């Protein structure tokens, strides 16, 4: 997150969300920075507390207060995409693209075999279909059976070569070089 977006988020949380620092020793800016640090780097509150000379309990309390405000402001912070209807008249033949990624997760030791990737990491596979404007149309986390879902959506989505070349997928031909302009 760049500085401009950080300031915008901090101001929204402070003004609209009425987030206030619990003491004069801690500012809202530090609370938001700690919150984002925990989310972005998947670290424990005591680790962040050590970096900012705060107790783990204090960091956790601030994290929970910011999370509460963000959940209250979800209508403002999370953009809802318009559903694609059956009478879609855009002249383009491709509605978006399909991609997946692994997101590292912390799970109990019992569940780790279910989340282990082929490279040995503990992660959740998330499939995303997004529109040409970059809006998320569909998100599937850790699920199997993508083909029936794509057939229900009724459109073709370009994807990379790891997907099968079947109904709903537009994969590149193996061994072909495609210019970026195409």
CA 79, 35, 44, 120 dihedral sign is positive
Encode burial over 120-142: b for 16+ CB neighbours within 10 A, e otherwise: eebbeeebbbbbeeeeebbeeee
Say whether pTM exceeds 0.75. Answer: no
Predicted confidence pLDDT, tens digits, the chain (182 residues): 789 999 999 999 999 998 887 777 788 898 999 999 888 887 888 888 888 888 888 899 999 999 999 989 988 887 666 665 656 565 554 556 666 677 788 888 888 887 777 778 888 777 777 776 667 777 777 644 444 455 555 666 677 776 666 666 777 777 777 665 65
Our count of domains for the chain comes to 2
Do 70 and 7 lie in one domain? The reply is: yes
Q: Could you give the CA distance from residue 55 to residue 84 in angstroms, rounded to a whole number? A: 48
91 within some domain: no
Q: Does one domain contain both 54 and 16?
A: yes
Range of the domain at 133: 97-170
Report how far residue 84's alpha carbon sits from residue 87's, in angstroms, rounded to the nearest whole number.
Answer: 8
């Amino acid at each position: 997150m760049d500085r401009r977006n950080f300031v915008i988020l901090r101001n929204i949380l402070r003004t609209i969300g009425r987030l206030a620092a619990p003491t004069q020793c801690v500012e809202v800016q530090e609370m938001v920075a700690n919150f984002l640090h925990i989310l972005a780097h998947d670290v424990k509150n005591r680790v962040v507390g050590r970096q900012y000379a705060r107790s783990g309990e204090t960091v956790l309390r601030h994290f929970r207060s910011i999370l509460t405000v963000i959940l209250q402001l979800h209508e403002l912070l999370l953009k809802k995409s318009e559903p694609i209807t059956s009478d879609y008249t855009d002249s383009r033949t491709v509605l978006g693209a399909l991609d997946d990624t692994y997101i590292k997760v912390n799970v109990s030791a019992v569940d780790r075999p279910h989340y282990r990737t082929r490279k040995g990491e503990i992660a959740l596979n998330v499939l995303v279909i997004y529109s040409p404007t970059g809006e998320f149309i569909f998100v599937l986390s850790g699920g199997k059976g993508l083909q029936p879902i794509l057939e229900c959506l009724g459109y073709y989505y370009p994807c990379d070569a790891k997907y099968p070349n079947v109904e709903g997928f537009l994969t590149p031909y193996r061994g072909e070089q495609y210019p970026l302009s195409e």
